[in-house]
Amino acid sequence: MRNRPSLTLADARQIAAAAEAEALAHQWAVTIAVVDDGGHLLWLQRLDGAPPISAQIGPAKARTAAVGRRESKVYEDMINQGRVSFLSAPALEGMLEGGVPIVVDGDCVGAVGVSGVKSSEDAQIARAGIAALGR
């Protein structure tokens, strides 16, 4: 057996606070979701003005990044390049840019998913949140 790191509620709060700060600095109304390594929701925050659908899309992007162990954009790119069969992949719903895995010491411990602005801006916010962990 080996030990591996895992996210705590304090980690989720820290990630969310940094992601929120990034979003507010640009006046972006988004939903921020933090999930554990199995894609289970630890934190959901919908900023004022964020579209209601973003509360569904953000967690889906986070789950996809966590269980896939890669950015959700990878799936979007595969589909856009013609591999449309990936649309039927089980457990992957948020196959749009904006889901970023949280990797600590080589292990995926969770992910952040953001929705509400351009996908590249969603990913920027997610990365800013993850950077707050200092890893």
Cα(25)–Cα(64) distance, integer angstroms: 27
Question: Which residues, 6+ apart, have CB-to-CB distance to 48 below 8 Å?
Answer: 29
R_g of the chain computed on alpha carbons? 14
Whether pTM > 0.85 for this model: the answer is: yes
Q: Where are the domains of the chain?
A: 9-131
Q: Does domain 9-131 have CATH number 3.30.70.360?
A: no
Question: Which residues, 6+ apart, have CB-to-CB distance to 85 below 8 Å?
Answer: none
Q: What is the residue-averaged pLDDT of the chain?
A: 96
Given pLDDT bands bounded at 50, 70 and 90, which one contains residue 92?
confident
Question: Which residues, 6+ apart, have CB-to-CB distance to 39 below 8 Å?
Answer: 62, 63, 64, 66, 67, 91, 111
Give the three-state DSSP class for 133: coil
Give the three-state DSSP class for 50: coil
Give the three-state DSSP class for 36: strand
Q: What is the pLDDT of residue 90?
A: 87
Given pLDDT bands bounded at 50, 70 and 90, which one contains residue 86?
confident
Q: What is the pLDDT of residue 72?
A: 97
End-to-end CA distance of the chain: 24
